[in-house]
Amino acid sequence: GAGVSQSPSNKVTEKGKDVELRCDPISGHTALYWYRQSLGQGLEFLIYFQGNSAPDKSGLPSDRFSAERTGGSVSTLTIQRTQQEDSAVYLCASSLAVEQFFGPGTRLTVL
Amino acid sequence: GDSVTQMEGPVTLSEEAFLTINCTYTATGYPSLFWYVQYPGEGLQLLLKATKADDKGSNKGFEATYRKETTSFHLEKGSVQVSDSAVYFCALSVGNDYKLSFGAGTTVTVRA
């Protein structure tokens, strides 16, 4: 079946612009996670959605970052007023239980 | 807070060599432990897991045993192949949300 998909695969933006990154989880998976993979910080948890519960936003690095999940399926991660330190690969994962299935990531470059 | 420390890389081996990647953890409560692998040009995928002390996870010839007394989850493979070249991440999760805390990753290159 279809895995987790993310779009765009690459995004280049200018400092100060807003960006939206999209994640389509595996159908039926109730949990959805966003992580960030950067050279300086490794792999970091950002935010977690589980069903209709309030999201766990404890990993978001600043209030410029936000995410939503519509209808318990597709999720969008929004970064406002991007900074150069936001450059990273943003990974989405979904799961039904313990094992998380990761998407290919969106590589964000902020010039 | 919860954290994972894994062996720094890069590691370069010849085919059929023995591979060990050390991983230790600090966690409140009782974590589940994982090894994820990222092959060149591909996404992260789960290699193996163990959810309680003394459990052994295994897959594709790789093994790791959850050692509570030494807070470790070392990854081993007895005879590596070129196709095992990848970045390996040790990770843990605590509680029912399963959000992962990752180690820094170890790059392994296997030469023919």
Beta pairing, strands A106-110 & A88-95: antiparallel
Q: What is the pLDDT of residues B56-75, one digit of tens each?
A: 999 999 999 999 999 999 99
Q: Which residue has the tokens 């765009």?
A: A8
Q: Does residue B26 contact residue B73 with C-beta atoms inside 8 Å?
A: no
Chains A, B: CB contacts within 8 A come to 49
Show residues of chain B in contact with A103, CB under 8 Å.
43
Q: What is the pLDDT of residues B21-70, one digit of tens each?
A: 999 999 988 899 999 999 998 889 999 999 999 999 999 999 999 999 99
DSSP calls for B8-57: -S-EEEETT--EEE-EEEE-SS--EEEEEEE-TTS-EEEEEEE-STT-EE
Distance from CA of A72 to the nearest CA of B (A): 16
